[in-house]
Amino acid sequence: MAHAWMVRTFVKHSAEVEEFPELMEVVRTVFDTARALETKVTDPPGYLHLLRKKMSKLRKAAEQFAHDAPLASDHTNFKMAVSSMRACVQQLDEVLLAVGGGSSHAGLESGDGVA
């Protein structure tokens, strides 16, 4: 989630977000997910259960961000932000698979949405 939070901060403070407000979806989703998960930090089973519930929304936001970011800017920082969100989703999926019960998706495919 640390990478997702860094992406959130980068996007939230980028000049491109004013002209491309669709980028704010990833900002809101990461904030919502992180705030929800922090309430379960002392309850690992509850944390994992809540993470499973939040993953589909986080994945959808990451996929939309991978589509929107190249439209907003071709800058390397946006490409790296897309890569970080992909890695975050993939690693969270791997954690959920490792502890059992799995996730609802195998993660973002590398290369999607990056020009």
Domain edges within the chain: 2-11+23-99
pLDDT digits (tens, 9 = 90+) for 49-79: 999 999 999 999 999 999 999 999 999 999 9
Between residues 53 and 115, the one the model is more confident about: 53
| pLDDT at residue 35 greater than cutoff 70 | yes
pTM: predicted TM-score of the whole model, two decimal places: 0.84
Burial 15-46 (b: 16+ CB within 10 A, else e): ebbeebeebebbbebbeebbeebeeeeeeeee
